[in-house]
Structure 1
Amino acid sequence: MNRTHLILFFVCFVMLLASCSSTKYVGDGEYLLDKVEIISDNKSHKSSDLKSYLRQQPNFKVFGLMKWQLFVYDWSGRNEKRWINKQLRRIGEAPVIMDTTLVDQSAAELERFYVNKGYINAEVTASIDTSKRKKAVVTYHIKANEPYRIRNYTMNLEDTKIDSIARLKAPRRSKLTSAFRSAPEGYTSLIKENALFDRDELDKERQRITSLLRRRGYYAFNRDNLAYVADSAFNQNIVDLEMLLKPYRQVNLDGSVVESPHKQYYIKDVMVVTDYDPIGAGEGEAAFNPTDTVQTGGISILYGKNGHSVRPSVLRKSVFLSPGQRFNERNVEQTYSSFAALRALKNVNIRFTEIEEQDTMKLNCVILTSPTKTQGVGVELEGTNSAGDFGFASSLNYQHRNLFKGSELFSAKIRGAYESLSGNKGSGLASYWELGGEASVLFPRFVFPFLSENFRRKLRASTELKVSYNRQTRPEYERAILSGGWSYIWQDRTNSQARHVFKLLDIDYVYLPKIDADFKNSLPASTALYNYSDQFIVGAGYSYSFNNFNPQNRQRNTHSLRASFEMAGNLLNGLSRVTGAKKDAEGRYKLFGINYAQFIKGDIDFGKGIVLDSRNKLAFHVGVGVAFPYGNAKMLPFERRYFSGGANSVRGWSVRELGPGSMEITDTTSFALQAGDIRLDLNLEYRTKLFWKFEMAAYVDAGNIWTIRPYEDQKDGNFDFSRFYKEIAVSYGLGLRLDFDFFLLRFDTGMKAYNPQERGSMRWAITRPNFKDNFAWHFAVGYPF
């Protein structure tokens, strides 16, 4: 199909959709809600944000342009019992019939929103245009009017202790609003003079004070104990605001209410139950059915039928509540977090019981947990497609969640893969085999000698020891990689969505037991020396990742950040110099007669998702990576070099087919040369829901890789400020996804738009779209970013 036929087909398809009646199933006297507009004289709030308050929305538009699902629904016949009609209606979407009651309710919701934001005299009216046959356009007109502002704000909290606490800096816990999570030193109130009389901000201020108090013993305090009195009698649109403290109210069994001052609470007894059954349990301690009780560190541990499934010392270290301690909500949160890290336990629940002793309020604390399934086995099977070569992979996984009765997670995996390589250009390759295994132990605590227990508890980091072996067999060579590592993993205390990984030691030993002589001779000397020879990679690294995506709230904007840094070879190089080791003919030190790499490498990736409405989302991604070999290496190891193209990069190219720079690619170019030390990825994607679990995406990708310095065998592949912008490849495409919530299957296509590997006008591949030279497709799991 040539380009002219494609254009004609597209035009005919659009005309077919346009000719479909969208009011086929709109009855007499009814109107299809064709469009909704919001016109406001206040620019503080975007119309797109206000639409979430409307009770009725028009039919969904694919990519915000076409009511495709409504058209599909209208293709169905009136006989609802026919199978084809059922399917069309299931895929499609019934017409949204305008309801004047919902229009009035929407206007009231918009008015309520503006009133809460301080626009007390806001006016919202709705007009309905039915001039089009059986179609209605509803327009909401918002006149915000002059807002009310706060002239004076005072806190009149009669309890002096509570008043002093309320004026402290807000706690840094992530559950609080970001407005004061990162507050500067000396910050107190969220309410400022001359600010809008915003009721949402008033609620945040109440929550701020409540959090401060609950971290200082006031267990029974909640934000409803704080009230506001607003006086607007002085002048129109001016409010004098006062915060008052309500007394603690207790309702007796006879219905009477007793008021008393707020008191601080102290912890009395702490008990951990390891075999709690939330379904069959009754009331009281007898419902726990303990078979053994252990006293340790001032807490009681009740073991059940599973015996000492987790060592008492491990449970004690996970409890941040102790007898005699003043109640602190932060300690409760830390206890929840610590128990959540114990993979041997599940269903953690902390209960408190109030007790009054000699005018002192105390709390008995019971931590309820249940044992999880200790061992598990899983099998994974997947299909692969790399540069058009098909294959399959399978793995057998085993987990033990309580290896040494300290909730240590032991994981083991054996993986095998096969891939046909017959399609590789000019290589005559037959197949690719991979066989490997890995084992790791994750300790739910910071493991390091000579450190105090208090210091380890404060760090709250997990420790992972990992070893793996991987053997790859290609017709050109066989390569084996033996790896080992010692890492620490922890979450940010001020933000549970942030994750840190520090690789204290990361070792790779790359061994090539076999390499084809013709293949090796075809490679440039530097490439063969650094990329296809035995070598050590010994280093350390750190990575930080953040993602605020919440599967329970998919209608909010999201953003993610990942940054990593790695250094290798410095320790070995220092040892070589100290011991007076001699260099080889290439000027490099060796370890046990084997080369070792020396480099630094850094990566940063940022992604953001913008929700346009309940079924449309815009997402973009920016990724940059730079690696620099030095000292004992003039080139980065093959395992650490960047590649471009593929399902998570510039999708107009198959994996590892783009770059570096504008290096010209020929039929004899080895894949080993299409690697670099600098990467750039730019992605923009429009995602739209179709029906059931199906989602469609349209996207534009840009990027490339470059070498850090000029190499003779990679001409025009180096990064140069004077021309790098001319070497940024661009592609576009459509993708179809199947979203099952817990995982997503993705089929993406890509068409080259600008190809820096070509010369002259041939670079503009967008002028000659075809499925032979300028097209690639990809199958993957999960979103590309």
Structure 2
Amino acid sequence: MKKISTKISLIILIGIIISACNTEKRVPDGKMRLTKNRIIVNDKRTSEENAYNQLYQKPNSTFILGYPLRLHLYNLANLNPDSTYAAKFKNNPGLYERQSKFLSAKQVDRLGKSFLYHGIHDFLKKVGEPPAIIDSTKTAKSVTRLKYYYFNKGFFDVETSFKTDTINGKKAKIDYIIATKKPYFLDSITSSISTPALDSLYKVQKANSLLKSGEQYQTVNFDEEKNRVAVQFRNNGAYYFQPTYVNFNIDTINKVNKADVNMIIGDYTYQDRDSTRTEQFKLYKISDVNIYTDYSSTRIDNTINDSITFKNFNLYSHDKLKYKPHAITDAIFINKGMPFADFRTVLTTRYLNNLKIFNYPSIQYEVDKRDSTASSLIAKVYLTPRKKYSFGAFFDVTHSNIQDIGISFSPSLTIRNVFNGAETLSLSGRANIGSSKDLANPNNQFFNVSEYGADLKLTIPRIFLPFSTERIIPKSMIPSTLMAVGFARQTNIGLDKENFTGSVTYNWNPKRNNTARFDLFNVQFVRNLNPDNYFNVYGSSYDALNEIAQTYNNDAANLDTNGDLLINNGTAAFTNSVINNGTALVSTDDDFQSVKSIEERRVRLTENDFILATSFTFTKTTKKDLQDKTFYLFKTKIESAGSLLSLLSSTTNRAVNTDGNREIFNLEYSEYIKTEFDYIKHWDLSNENILAVRSFFGIAIPFGNSDNIPFSRSYFSGGSNDNRAWQPYSLGPGRSGAVNDFNEANMKIALSAEYRFKIAGNIKGALFSDVGNIWNVLDNVTDEKSTFNGFKSFKDLAVGSGFGLRYDLTFLVVRFDLGFKTYDPANETDKKWFRDYNFANSVLNFGINYPF
């Protein structure tokens, strides 16, 4: 009863606060606050976003259920806190004298500028929003803009007006009334181009014109046609051509809702001293390509001391030339003897910038005075080298769900143009020490977590192979090769691992927004240094094994003084006894299968892994830039591991070990095939409202030399970028209930949807729903609850939902998400939905940037 009364009181209090907020508090007498705009086109209300964007005045923004939160925040602010503070002492003259004796006159005056008296009101005004007062001048401008908006869509006879309706008190709405009448359509389309060379170019691609006879008039099509024609001409030698030279004569005389269009392109106009001259446009060719490899705008001495001509490119240097000629010329797409083309300039700039050994390049053109026809250009490429050596260091103090406190230091060294072929060599190291009370810590040390490692990476700006790949992957795709080796040693999960990695990777861009990556090989060797510590780390496995031992253990030497299994001797002895039928358990017993499953997992997570994989990854996106809110991204990957080693073993007739598996360096290697599909789609719903969805499917199938997937290549579920109602590794597999400490499997399905909206200023909100799980499939796991068994296993998809807050710092987004377990497949049949949908079982996630 007490809880119910408390909730009722809270609801009443919230209701009083909301009702007490007068939205017209700051509306002057005789004025109206705009609450709604409506655009009515031909007697029907429209929701077209572009039409509403023409309006100069918009109502106050609203939060959930139309609540004008920002307006209320603004109304809470004191617009004149200085006057209020001064009036406080004016009405009570003795108060200032008394406070001055206690503080000082200067401190009392400064108190008026404090956050309590002044700053809080500035904050409320900043994040809040003043009432949208109806302004008749802005309304008239909105009507005019709407008229031009529909005129530009082909409604030349459009009529516009508006009507203001008072709702009550000081609130009103505005109806904008549009009568479009009949639209105009394009009839005949002709061209008048005074330069014959341009006229010929236009006719070649006339079919690509954006102006089509019979289509409705659209001003935007004329603007885009100007740009299309300019791009075509400038990519075919017309260096001085600009879109402004394209004009249109639109004739509607004696036409009934039709318009004849004539595209007019006159002569080139330029200023020659005090005179304006005109001449026909010329199509220019490149006569020379001069590359200045160490240009500096601040250098006084511009003497060229070294130069070389290589494949019709002239390379110049103030000092000794430090680059192999092909390293630079491979990045230049402007060629001697070819017509001037804008796209070649853009492509050259992208490639040079991608080398990362120069600052942003500058490419300029000048008319070659040696050409008597004045139709040749000299291309000048100015390159300013970055510093050959760059040193960086990063120091950080962190706190996470694994470490109570962590201190890390990461130095790095970058060497550019290391072999004079525009290569970049990067050497980085990392060292971390931390403290965690959750991990096994038999010596009770404060800093019981540590990691250190180093990585060496060499980037080569071409496909590095003993044969040419130009026909398959031309240099226009900006290919590169990355060679990397790394080593890491960590003691942060209790088993103490050493990790050795090496890879050779090729990257290229088949198209502007497409990327391809081919890992010729990616090798990883993971060595567990302390496997005997397994049951100290994986406590849930130990608890399950120890509970069974309380009933079936028949050797007192396996137990400690409390009757629990000794780690590691007791656990190993009891497990061996069960599996070898040394206890009362038989293979058909559930407890026997549990012990066997625990042992299989222990062996898999403590055995050393050797992985030699080859993979291909393809990514396609329509995202143009960071401001693009409507786009999709598709990514797929296929990876094969161990097949090459098996082929070599078969051809060399290498013997198998006692388990029937082949080895390399006395170590069983992993063999599997893995594939992933990831699709992300964003919709811009206007007014900073975004709908984002993501779907992911991944599966790794062991075969040949393996009957399971290495831990480092398996999938997990839960966490800030996955199903946010569960912690990382705490969901699945299937409906098993996440009985292990770190739950993983070899198949994953994930679906997420998120509605993002603006709350106030840079504070954004989100409502989300996450669906997904992991399963074991086609491996050595036999637990029916954990395995995928066709369509009926889809009922094991977990559902999480919740809300989040984001603070947009422009360069990154700080994110907090609160996830609630909506459907938990591990619960009993009648307790799966909304059983744990409460704050006590919710999960707070912290992340940087959006989850997808």
TM-score bucket (shorter structure):
0.7 to 0.9
CA distance 1:61–1:338, shift in 2 (3 Å): same
SS at match of 1:607: strand
**What are the Cα deviations for residues 158-183 of structure 1, in whole angstroms up to 9, with x where unaligned?**
6554344334469xxxxxxxxxxxxx
Worse-superposed segment, 424-433 or 522-531 = 424-433
Mapped to 1, the partners of 2:7 and 2:205 lie a distance apart of 64
2:393–2:409 CA contact under 8 A, matched in 1: no
- What is the Cα deviation at residue 266 of structure 1? 1.1
Instruction: Within 5 Å, give how 1:711-722 maps onto structure 2.
Output: 712=781, 714-722=783-791
**What are the Cα deviations for residues 265-301 of structure 1, in whole angstroms up to 9, with x where unaligned?**
01123222344445x58xxxx8855454444333333
Alignment partner, residue 465 of structure 1: 483
Alignment partner, residue 70 of structure 2: 69
The one of 135, 160, 163 aligned to 1:99 = 135
Give the TM-score taking structure 2 as reference length.
0.81
The one of 364, 373, 388 aligned to 2:378 = 364
The one of 669, 673, 685 aligned to 2:754 = 685
Alignment partner, residue 510 of structure 1: 526
Is 2:347 the partner of 1:299? no
Say which structure is richer in strand. 1
One-letter code of the match for 1:514?
Answer: N
2:801–2:819 CA contact under 8 A, matched in 1: yes
SS at match of 1:750: strand
1:386–1:655 CA contact under 8 A, matched in 2: no
- What is the Cα deviation at residue 117 of structure 1? 2.2
CA distance 1:22–1:424, shift in 2 (3 Å): farther
Is 2:848 the partner of 1:781? yes
- What is the Cα deviation at residue 498 of structure 1? 2.8
- What is the Cα deviation at residue 11 of structure 1? 6.6
Is 2:356 the partner of 1:343? yes
Give the TM-score taking structure 1 as reference length.
0.87
Alignment partner, residue 436 of structure 1: 453
Alignment partner, residue 451 of structure 1: 468
Worse-superposed segment, 159-168 or 649-658 = 159-168
One-letter code of the match for 1:106?
Answer: S
Is 2:181 the partner of 1:145? yes
Is 2:679 the partner of 1:606? yes
Mapped to 2, the partners of 1:103 and 1:369 lie a distance apart of 53
Is 2:505 the partner of 1:487? yes
- What is the Cα deviation at residue 76 of structure 1? 1.5
Mapped to 2, the partners of 1:44 and 1:168 lie a distance apart of 45
SS at match of 1:30: coil
Worse-superposed segment, 336-345 or 11-20 = 11-20
Is 2:608 the partner of 1:534? yes
1:509–1:537 CA contact under 8 A, matched in 2: yes
**What are the Cα deviations for residues 532-566 of structure 1, in whole angstroms up to 9, with x where unaligned?**
31222112112233455566635x42333322221
Is 2:159 the partner of 1:123? yes
Is 2:282 the partner of 1:263? yes
Say which structure is richer in helix. 2
Alignment partner, residue 792 of structure 2: 723
Instruction: Within 5 Å, give how 1:210-225 maps onto structure 2.
Output: 210-225=230-245
The one of 294, 317, 327 aligned to 2:340 = 327
1:64–1:616 CA contact under 8 A, matched in 2: no
Mapped to 2, the partners of 1:287 and 1:51 lie a distance apart of 59
1:744–1:782 CA contact under 8 A, matched in 2: yes
Mapped to 2, the partners of 1:251 and 1:466 lie a distance apart of 56
Alignment partner, residue 38 of structure 1: 39
The one of 741, 756, 764 aligned to 1:671 = 741
1:321–1:335 CA contact under 8 A, matched in 2: yes
- What is the Cα deviation at residue 102 of structure 1? 1.7
Alignment partner, residue 114 of structure 1: 150
One-letter code of the match for 2:598?
Answer: P
1:537–1:596 CA contact under 8 A, matched in 2: yes
Alignment partner, residue 771 of structure 1: 839
Is 2:260 the partner of 1:240? yes
- What is the Cα deviation at residue 487 of structure 1? 0.7
1:80–1:86 CA contact under 8 A, matched in 2: no
Alignment partner, residue 545 of structure 1: 619
2:60–2:129 CA contact under 8 A, matched in 1: yes
One-letter code of the match for 1:684?
Answer: A
**What are the Cα deviations for residues 616-652 of structure 1, in whole angstroms up to 9, with x where unaligned?**
3332222222222222222111111111100100111
CA distance 1:60–1:423, shift in 2 (3 Å): farther
Gaps of 5+ in 2: 83-116, 536-571, 576-594
Worse-superposed segment, 265-274 or 149-158 = 149-158
The one of 270, 292, 295 aligned to 1:250 = 270
Mapped to 2, the partners of 1:294 and 1:620 lie a distance apart of 54
One-letter code of the match for 2:218?
Answer: D
Q: CA RMSD in A?
A: 3.3
Mapped to 2, the partners of 1:630 and 1:49 lie a distance apart of 56
Alignment partner, residue 501 of structure 1: 517
**What are the Cα deviations for residues 494-544 of structure 1, in whole angstroms up to 9, with x where unaligned?**
42x332222111111122232026638665344344443122211211223
2:507–2:518 CA contact under 8 A, matched in 1: yes
Mapped to 1, the partners of 2:823 and 2:813 lie a distance apart of 29
Alignment partner, residue 642 of structure 2: 569
Quick one: percent identity of the two aligned structures? 25
SS at match of 2:607: coil
**What are the Cα deviations for residues 100-119 of structure 1, in whole angstroms up to 9, with x where unaligned?**
22222222222222222222
The one of 429, 440, 456 aligned to 1:414 = 429
Mapped to 2, the partners of 1:11 and 1:676 lie a distance apart of 49
**What are the Cα deviations for residues 217-271 of structure 1, in whole angstroms up to 9, with x where unaligned?**
222222333333333335322223333332222333223332x322210112322
Alignment partner, residue 410 of structure 2: 395
Mapped to 2, the partners of 1:140 and 1:381 lie a distance apart of 57
SS at match of 1:378: strand
Worse-superposed segment, 134-143 or 424-433 = 424-433
Query: Which structure would you say has the larger Rg?
Result: 2
Instruction: Within 5 Å, give how 1:638-677 maps onto structure 2.
Output: 638-665=711-738, 669-672=739-742, 674-677=743-746
Mapped to 2, the partners of 1:312 and 1:340 lie a distance apart of 17
- What is the Cα deviation at residue 155 of structure 1? 4.3
One-letter code of the match for 2:665?
Answer: F
Alignment partner, residue 740 of structure 1: 809
1:729–1:754 CA contact under 8 A, matched in 2: yes
1:382–1:394 CA contact under 8 A, matched in 2: no
Mapped to 2, the partners of 1:692 and 1:762 lie a distance apart of 41
One-letter code of the match for 2:526?
Answer: V
One-letter code of the match for 2:418?
Answer: L
Worse-superposed segment, 160-169 or 433-442 = 160-169
Higher relative contact order, chain-length normalized (CA < 8 Å, sep 6+): 1
SS at match of 1:619: strand
Gaps of 5+ in 1: 171-186
Mapped to 1, the partners of 2:724 and 2:515 lie a distance apart of 29
Mapped to 2, the partners of 1:245 and 1:277 lie a distance apart of 40
Instruction: Within 5 Å, give how 1:143-222 maps onto structure 2.
Output: 143-157=179-193, 161-168=197-204, 188-222=208-242
One-letter code of the match for 2:244?
Answer: D
Mapped to 2, the partners of 1:762 and 1:504 lie a distance apart of 49
One-letter code of the match for 2:610?
Answer: F
- What is the Cα deviation at residue 759 of structure 1? 1.3
Mapped to 2, the partners of 1:684 and 1:708 lie a distance apart of 27
CA distance 1:267–1:235, shift in 2 (3 Å): same
Alignment partner, residue 52 of structure 1: 53
1:42–1:144 CA contact under 8 A, matched in 2: no
SS at match of 2:238: coil
One-letter code of the match for 1:746?
Answer: R
2:158–2:178 CA contact under 8 A, matched in 1: yes
